[in-house]
Structure 1
Amino acid sequence: MRRTRLSLPSLLACRTLGLSRLSIGVACLLRAPSALAVCDNLAPASGQTATCNANAPNPSTQPVVAAGGSTGVTVVVLPGAGISVNNSSGISIQDSSTVQNLGTIQTTADSFDGITSEGSVSGFGHNSVTNAGSIHTSGAASEGIYNGSAAVTMVNAAGGVIGTSGTGSAAMLDFSAAGGGTLTNHGTLTTSGEGSYGMAAETSGDALVNNGTITTSGASSYGLFANGSGVGTTVTNNGSVETSGPNGHGIVSLDATPGLITNNGSIVTHGPDSLGAYFAHTVSFVNAAGARIASDQDNGIDANGGGTFTNARTISGGNVGMSAVGGNTLIVNSGVIEGGANPGISTTGPYVVTITNTGQISGGGGVADGPIPA
């Protein structure tokens, strides 16, 4: 939920809507036994733990929302347990808190997430969120896991599944102004809405690591996305990224000063106008031995600020293998760079492009096109 967020209620257990005068006091003084509710603490205070089990009623239709200003809260959703809500995020925590989901979390309303990690205005952040179960959101601007506080640790574990179907809904998103977080996927991330990324860092100084599978099918839905104004985010793909929607790029970095971007796995885009990777500013990019980055219908890589590019395996595009504009560029190729109807490498502008080639560069329009010095 990256839009204006609602303030966290301090005690959801004391809602009075629809209760008689006599029952209001009872509702606030007594908590139902845990055997009768899937979650034993709906509003954990500092240092408290909330555990959601598979007892009836399951799934719970009430969220777990940490008390305002709380720290050190732990929320655990056990295997077989579920939370299904339509007016809130499934779980919300604040500073120095932990969530572990081994069950199922589902939300349907716009602007609410499966798990929301926040902090107070002057808060410490450093929340830890792990999903080893299933999270699905269907509303617009509804992330699977959202963070808005400093230095989050966000993990989708092996076997974990996060899916979103609404517009503008990333599977994993760090939107903290402070940055410094680590987002890691070992499982499966899927998005189907327009503008819905697999993993995204709209902040500075993060690390995005994909060791699993990322699949997007909506228009303008990128696999891995970095967009910050400060220290750049490092992006590493060790797994699989696949997009099928129009303008659905595999990796996009809009960082003003990007961190190292490395592909050790597979990145494939199928839709029209979909790049394998797009870099807005000067970048260092490595396509390692055994790795592949490919666009069926467009360029394998668009480098709009120049930089250093090392390729030890395959970069291919249905149009151009690699386009380098907007800055001096060094390309060190020991693998394959291939274009479709056009050259393997294309450049424009008054910049120095240096190519060291011990591999293969080919394309329908020739090896290279542009002002490349001999």
Structure 2
Amino acid sequence: MTASTAQSEPTYRVLEFSQLDGWVSDDHSSAFRTFLNTCADMKDPDWSSLCAVAQTEARLQTSARSFFELFFRPVLIEDGAPGLFTGYFEPELEGSLTPSSRYRFPVYRMPPEARTNQPWFSRSEIEANGVMSGRGLEIAWVDDPVELFFLQIQGSGRIKLSNGRSIRVGYAGANGHEYRSIGAELIRRGTFASHQVSAEVIKNWVRRNPEEGLDLLRHNPSFVFFREVSHVPAEKGPLGAMNRSVTDLRTIAVDPAFTPLGAPVWIEKDGENPMRRLMIAQDTGSAIKGAQRADIFFGTGDAAGRAAGRLKDPGRMVVLLPIQRAYAMAATDIPE
């Protein structure tokens, strides 16, 4: 959804679980385990009480579906914009802790002055003026500037070293410039039609056109800096906005102005591969704005990236809220 999409005041409508398409067929236990991963970080009393109940239910091995149906009510929150689902993933790059003829492109920590002087230098200025050189700000070096660019878009990823070890990096901050879509720029130039553009198409075009490609990447003045987060075990997902590992195909990024972080969310994604699944809102994203907007986490690596990059589907999302909160919010929509 773009900033120009018209939005109205949000409305709240309590639904029955029978109105959720495919509800009874989902693996509620998987969603329940994902909910437990972050619910202890939810500080509002109604959420913390439910988390304590969930932890008890987990020890007693109570039915996960019964837990959600007993303590929550589905709430459809709408703001006038249509539902839209996209995907995101954790990239995996080839890299080294030392530079070489192959590994020439640095992954940078954030310089202190970039935090206090916003906006700081643009992408093209950072790459041209040597402001980062000789300061020991490199976390690692990678072999592909295109993959590094998309690592910055995703905000986190893994760097696979030649000795078989991997390090994980996460978002540390940015230079304060507004993000510009290079896909939209290719459409504006007439290089591709809108239905042709995907992450893979963009990557392939940049590699086939190296000089024009690097110039295209610099069309986006935003530049992201990283921090090492290798304390997160390799078998777990990257850290989301709640500073906990996210879960493949159970975590979504949402707009916290409408959906509380940590809340269960039922999604009914249409399109080529329909999805009916209970997700947990554990992440956010700069492009995720609106009550009916979500980004689905697909996992780590190339296959996850291809699946995430193809996704742009309609549908609806329904937030599961504690019962009293659900009815209180719906009551605000009752006309006087």
Q: TM-score range by the shorter chain?
A: under 0.3
Larger strand share, 1 or 2: 1
The one of the two structures with greater contact order (alpha-carbon pairs below 8 A, sep at least 6) is 2
Larger helix share, 1 or 2: 2
TM-score, normalising length from structure 2?
0.27
TM-score, normalising length from structure 1?
0.25
